[in-house]
Structure 1
């Protein structure tokens, strides 16, 4: 009798492990496929923006290239970290620290670049006669350098706070948990700085983008403004505001999961975490390609040409 119960228990355990494996494969495909697709699209977009001189010499497209580069870097690093988590691979603290800090650098560059892009659209609509003298390639390069320097300084401060943790008292540098941004908050100061910096950046960025959107709406009502250009800039700024909001949600991903873990089961938390990862990590990094790749008349034909592997569609003969 005991042998039958033991055999039944083993069968149930094996079935649960098989279902867990199938579920892990399903969620890995659910996350991995869109990530790989948009990584490919972003890579084509980056190649497209370097393929023509007009893209390399226009401030708007230079800023777009910087935004896409940061988004692609973060998307690739996030997917690599997700693969480590699914594979249950626990790296050492130094390796995890390098990956997380690079991920944070790319994550902090995106909202700041969005702010600069919104300001560029604001100047183009509200001050069209002075746009060529205010928004130059040189000033755009300076703005990008400032964005990278400010983000790098923030990451440097995080590294300094991280080094204050007593790693010498640990028996091993091998991490006992999965590598994530939460696992690298190893002290109250790191947690406090992370919340303060995130709040400051996104409040200031949100206010700036909102003000530029309102400014463009006001300018669109004036008789001297190009209505079509103002309407297109207004829609672009609105999409950037949505993109900024989704990026803000990505910074709240960790606290949301921690809060839900206190009331929900672990298996349900894993499912919710995978779904949230797709919508608040992957989706915001793909909006730039969709916003400009599909709406910009200069980029769209070249992007479609490269996406179709440089195949020219046959043209129908015109009827006489």
Structure 2
């Protein structure tokens, strides 16, 4: 009788996993289509790819789309129990961690761009030119490389050489052998987000000061800048929660495996998939020029009025 219950329980868990994998595929397809439409809109006008805030917005779109695609590939490989050479898994891990940090670092750069536009308007053209934007993108990529460099340096120092030629399931858990490596990774993550949070809070306070002293159109512009900074802060919080997820899942795994499966699925949907699409979409809808270009480029009509969008998202 106990064996029958065990088989029934395994079958129920298997059906649940099957349904979840299908749901993930549908969500990834939808989110990738949305991000693709935003990327196409970005390239539709010269103004967008010669303006810093739109260039930075496009950087987040590319990094988020890559994370959606690669994480989904790992889900499919795990579901079908497909193994790969460990060296290839290292490459995937590097790209995933790099893109994971590109988005929050870019959000911080976008916040600084708004700070310069509102608090230093006379220098905005100089500091936020197209040439400066390209330098900014290079700096973002360089800063995003630091965490993965630290993590892999610790990993290579303790991993056996035979591991690199082995075939196994590609999982992010493979890159932590010892507890101190987990602690170092967590310290790097927290250091980055502490610095980014301080920058966003500083920008918000400075823009708030300008908003209090402004009047008329200037006051409207600064208020919109404040809302933009708040949105970046919320997006940064989601990114921070995403980086906490592996540590939470590791703790839950020690308690109950079924609970671990449920928590990992919940984290993947709400803190990895959804923010990678919804936040960029909302940010695109908030910008009047980008919204009009998006409305022109998508293959279907928007069923809401611009004024309603402003009420809902700004």
Q: Do the structures match in fold with TM over 0.5?
A: yes
Paired residue for 1:260?
252
Of residues 63, 72, 88, the one that matches 1:79 is 72
Alpha-carbon distance change, 128 to 168 in structure 1, aligned in 2, over 3 angstroms: closer
Paired residue for 2:92?
99
Task: Please tell me whether residue 49 in structure 1 is matched to residue 31 in structure 2.
Answer: no
Say whether the 8 Å CA contact 1:41–1:289 is kept in structure 2: no
Between 1:120-129 and 1:165-174, the stretch displaced more is 165-174
Of residues 230, 234, 237, the one that matches 1:238 is 230
Say whether the 8 Å CA contact 2:38–2:281 is kept in structure 1: no
Alignment of 1:112-123 (within 5 A): 112-123=105-116
Task: Please tell me whether residue 24 in structure 1 is matched to residue 17 in structure 2.
Answer: yes
Q: Separation in 1 of the partners of 2:279 and 2:273?
A: 11
Structure 2 length-normalised TM: 0.87
RMSD over aligned Cα, in angstroms?
A: 2.4
SS of residue paired to 2:122: coil
Alpha-carbon distance change, 149 to 23 in structure 1, aligned in 2, over 3 angstroms: same
Q: Separation in 2 of the partners of 1:197 and 1:218?
A: 32
Say whether the 8 Å CA contact 2:147–2:189 is kept in structure 1: no
Say whether the 8 Å CA contact 1:260–1:269 is kept in structure 2: yes
Question: Which structure has the larger Rg?
Answer: 1
Q: Separation in 2 of the partners of 1:35 and 1:209?
A: 30
Q: Separation in 1 of the partners of 2:32 and 2:162?
A: 41
Alignment of 1:1-320 (within 5 A): 9=3, 12=5, 15-168=8-161, 173-175=166-168, 178-187=169-178, 190-223=181-214, 226-263=218-255, 265-308=256-299
Between 1:203-212 and 1:120-129, the stretch displaced more is 120-129
Say whether the 8 Å CA contact 2:235–2:275 is kept in structure 1: yes
Between 1:161-170 and 1:294-303, the stretch displaced more is 161-170
Between 1:27-36 and 1:163-172, the stretch displaced more is 163-172
Structure 1 runs (4+) deviating above 4 angstroms are 169-172
Structure 1 length-normalised TM: 0.86
Q: Separation in 2 of the partners of 1:21 and 1:253?
A: 23
Q: Separation in 2 of the partners of 1:302 and 1:197?
A: 39
Q: Which structure 1 residue ranges, 5 or more long, are not aligned?
A: 314-320
How many residues in Structure 1 have an aligned counterpart in Structure 2? 302
